[in-house]
């Protein structure tokens, strides 16, 4: 919590294993338990006074209520004061002590009781964020079936080793990250990514801990440890980022930090000047009431509550937001820079066109190309192999650096490579057309005769144009950043509806360009890989796309979109803008309250008890308003997504 608030952290509970456990219910928060005890004493004092009990009895009960309530904030306030930090707790402590000196023990007890409630509510709301984040780890099952020495045995996920062959039955949760080696299925990743439509997966596809296997049995090769699986890694990174980007960056704290010492100075001046020109007792009392009236209690709690509610709701949209500062920045963004490969495109190259010559058929061209690519690890190989059913590999396959492949099959010499190394001949116009469409063109030659050209392109995500159109309707300036050549970038940008295109960029070029865009408007960078890390760090807000599989991106970014559906992006922006409006409403209400209460307290219209009551009622109002930020509607995906294609690296330059 913030220094401005002066609130204390509730020490996390521990379970029987000594592990931290966040409060799950209100009564588990120590501040709220103490507030309840304080309230009981206060109620007893009120009943005793109403029954005309002896004054010492009433005073004792009020003093007990005061001591119990004050215990929730006075010790932490004194600790902060020793470090030179002043906060709202400082004002409350001074006001409580002053009230006791003036003989208003009951009013001091009421102040301590109500403020202890606000302390407890804030601690509970922040614990919910930590608890919700760690709840990701509960998605991992307690046991997994693994094949060792030819036998199936059941072990705990912590006992799985890299390279183990894990068996996953239909309906089971996957215990750890891995690669599918056998079997096909539809994975339910809704609990992790927020996507409601199952994702098709087969041999070679990655699977992540917490996913639910569909109808097929799988053999999965373990690729990580339980301590370093995707869920555990995300929890560690986000918690560390929340700690680094603390509450000091939040809007309320930027207002409250200078406000608190200003209030103390004003209270001192009122007490001194009033005592000189009037009754000291009256003006000291009014100075204390002014201190309480000007305390930004509602301001201090309004933003954290809104942040907690909004971040929790964002996780249901498949977005991990790293704390309040990131949420505020997300709501303030007005420009969006999108990386191409893996963000606007699916990072799964596919054959989109085949041109033929010299009497060859489409099937013959693809068959010869696949015969060579079966022995290749080039990024284009997977796309070409996926376009044929059966492959008869060529013999004597050799790679010609920067050009292509050569080999032999059935007594024929076959070659595949880039235009320039092979003469396109009659296919020159087709090759130009393919390249203009943003595809990489490769030629196929059989016995020194060109028989075809194949166009391979990393296709746009099906929802990309829809998302860009939505962002533009919402008032965002959209730009595309890519390391690809200008022709490819321009073709894809035209298809998706982006006018501002920046191509042939190195990672450092992207970062420099983001600085230029930031000079014009608050800009978010959306990327998915290592080459995007400098730009993600440079932007006002970095957003990692498909964060379940990218380490560097999620470490660098402020927001991580867990799924692969780009439609989560505009929905997350809309959610953050609404949350920011609610924050500003709460801040405005809190400042208006302070502005109204100060003159009323200064001229004696309201006493200490009335001011404290108004403040605490205002806290209830801002908390209720902040909770509205947690209301959201998950993304409804009506169209079925296309089956997965085995992932490859991005399409590079032609051979």
Active site residues: 339
Residues 6+ apart with CB under 8 A from 203: 180, 181, 182, 183, 184, 646
Q: What does 620-634 look like in DSSP terms, one character per residue?
A: HHHHHHHHGGG----
β-bridge pairing 541-545 and 523-527? parallel
CA distance to 330, 471, 632, per residue, from 334 (Å): 9, 10, 21
How many contiguous H segments (helices) and E segments (strands) does the chain have?
A: 21, 23
Burial label, 514 (beta-carbon count in 10 A; 0-12, 13-18, 19+): buried
* CA angle, 577 then 557 then 576, to 5°: 10
- Tell me the angle at which helices 88-101 and 74-82 cross, rounded to the nearest 10 degrees: 120
Let me know: does 197 contact 143? Beta carbons within 8 Å. Answer: no
Torsion angles phi and psi, residue 326, rounded to 5: -65, -40
- Are the beta carbons of 440 and 651 closer than 8 angstroms? yes
Q: Which two tokens stand for residue 410?
A: 């059935």
Q: Which residue has the tokens 């090759």?
A: 431
Task: Give the largest Cα separation in the chain, rounded.
Answer: 114
Phi/psi of residue 631, nearest 5 degrees: -90, 120
User: Rounded to an integer, what distance in angstroms lies between the CA atom of residue 510 and that of residue 554?
Assistant: 18
Query: From CA 277, how far away is CA 604, in angstroms rounded?
Result: 16
For residue 290, give Cα distances in angstroms to 6, 237, 296, 406, 606.
18, 43, 12, 87, 10
Q: What are phi and psi of 222, to 5 degrees?
A: -70, 130
Question: Please, what is the end-to-end C-alpha distance for the chain in angstroms?
Answer: 56
Residue 55: exposure state from Cβ atoms within 10 A (0-12, 13-18, ≥19): exposed
Token code pair at residue 322? 């790293």
Establish how many alpha carbons lie within 13 A of residue 495's alpha carbon, considering only the half-sphere containing its beta carbon: 20
CB of 126 within 8 A of CB of 111? no
**Within its chain, how far is the Cα of 265 from the centroid?**
40
H-type alpha helices, 474-506:
486-496
Contacts of 420 (CB under 8 A, 6+ apart): none
- CA distance linking residue 187 with residue 343, whole number of Å: 21
Q: Which tokens go with 411?
A: 């007594």
279 vs 274: CA distance, rounded Å: 7
Q: Cβ distance 4 to 260 under 8 Å?
A: yes
Lay out the sheet containing 541-545: strands in order across.
319-321, 559-561, 541-545, 523-527, 335-339, 477-481, 500-502
Q: How far apart are CA 580 and CA 125, in angstroms?
A: 18
Name the pairing type of β-strands 395-400 and 404-409: antiparallel
């Amino acid at each position: 919590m913030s220094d401005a608030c002066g609130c204390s952290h509730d020490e996390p509970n521990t379970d029987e294993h000594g592990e931290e456990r966040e409060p799950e219910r209100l009564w588990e928060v120590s501040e709220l338990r103490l507030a309840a005890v304080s309230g009981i004493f206060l109620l007893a004092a009120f009943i005793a006074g109403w029954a005309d009990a002896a004054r010492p009895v009433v005073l004792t009960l009020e003093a007990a209520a005061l001591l119990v309530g004050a215990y929730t904030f006075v010790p932490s306030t004194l600790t902060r004061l020793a470090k030179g930090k002043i906060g709202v707790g400082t004002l409350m402590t001074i006001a409580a002590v002053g009230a006791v000196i003036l003989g208003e023990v009951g009013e001091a007890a009421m102040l301590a009781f109500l403020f202890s409630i606000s302390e407890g509510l804030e601690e509970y709301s922040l614990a919910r964020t930590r608890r919700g984040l760690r709840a990701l780890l509960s998605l991992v099952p307690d046991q997994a079936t693994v094949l060792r020495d030819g036998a199936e045995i059941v072990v705990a996920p912590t006992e799985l080793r890299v390279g183990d062959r894990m068996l996953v039955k239909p309906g089971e949760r996957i215990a750890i990250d891995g690669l599918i080696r056998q079997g096909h299925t539809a994975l339910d990743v809704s609990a992790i990514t927020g996507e409601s439509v199952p994702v098709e997966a087969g041999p070679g596809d990655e699977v992540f801990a917490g996913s639910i296997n569909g109808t097929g049995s799988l053999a999965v090769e373990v690729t990580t440890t339980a301590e370093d699986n995707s869920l555990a890694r995300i929890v560690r990174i986000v918690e560390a980022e929340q700690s680094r980007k603390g509450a000091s960056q939040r809007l309320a704290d930027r207002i409250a930090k200078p406000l608190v010492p200003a209030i103390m100075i004003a209270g001192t001046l009122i007490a001194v000047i009033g005592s000189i020109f009037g009754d000291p007792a009256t003006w000291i009392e009014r100075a204390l009431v002014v201190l309480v009236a000007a305390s930004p209690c509602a301001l201090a709690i309004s933003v954290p509550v809104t942040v907690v509610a909004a971040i929790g709701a964002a996780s249901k949209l498949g977005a991990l937001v790293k704390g309040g500062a990131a949420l505020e920045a997300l709501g303030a963004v007005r420009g969006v820079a999108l990386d191409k490969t893996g963000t606007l495109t699916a990072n799964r190259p596919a054959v989109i066109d085949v041109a033929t010559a010299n009497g060859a058929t489409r099937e013959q061209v693809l068959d010869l190309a696949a015969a060579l690519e079966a022995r290749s690890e080039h990024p284009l190989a997977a796309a070409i192999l996926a376009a044929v059913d059966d492959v008869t590999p060529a013999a004597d396959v050799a790679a010609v650096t920067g050009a292509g492949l050569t080999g032999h099959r059935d007594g024929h010499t076959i070659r595949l490579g880039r235009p320039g190394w092979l003469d396109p001949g009659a296919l020159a116009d087709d090759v130009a057309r393919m390249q203009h469409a943003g595809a990489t063109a490769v030629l196929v030659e059989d016995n020194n005769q060109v028989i075809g050209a194949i166009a391979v392109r990393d296709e746009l995500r099906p929802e990309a144009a829809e998302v860009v159109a939505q962002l533009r309707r919402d008032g965002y300036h959209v730009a595309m950043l890519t390391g690809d050549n200008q022709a490819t970038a321009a073709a894809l940008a035209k298809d998706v509806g982006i006018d501002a295109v920046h191509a042939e960029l190195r990672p450092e070029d992207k970062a420099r360009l983001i600085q230029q865009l930031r000079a014009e408007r608050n800009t978010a960078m959306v990327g998915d890989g290592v080459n995007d890390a400098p730009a993600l760090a440079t932007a006002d807000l970095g957003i990692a796309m498909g964060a379940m599989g990218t380490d560097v991106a999620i470490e660098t970014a402020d927001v991580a979109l867990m799924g692969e559906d780009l439609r989560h992006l505009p929905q997350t922006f809309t959610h953050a803008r609404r949350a920011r409006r609610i924050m500003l409403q709460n801040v405005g209400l809190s400042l208006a309250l302070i502005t109204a209460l100060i003159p009323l307290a200064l001229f004696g219209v309201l006493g200490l008890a009335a001011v404290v009551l108004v403040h605490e009622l205002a806290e209830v109002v801002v908390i209720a308003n902040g909770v509205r930020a947690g209301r959201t509607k998950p993304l409804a995906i009506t169209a079925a997504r296309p089956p997965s294609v085995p992932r490859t690296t991005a399409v590079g330059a032609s051979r």
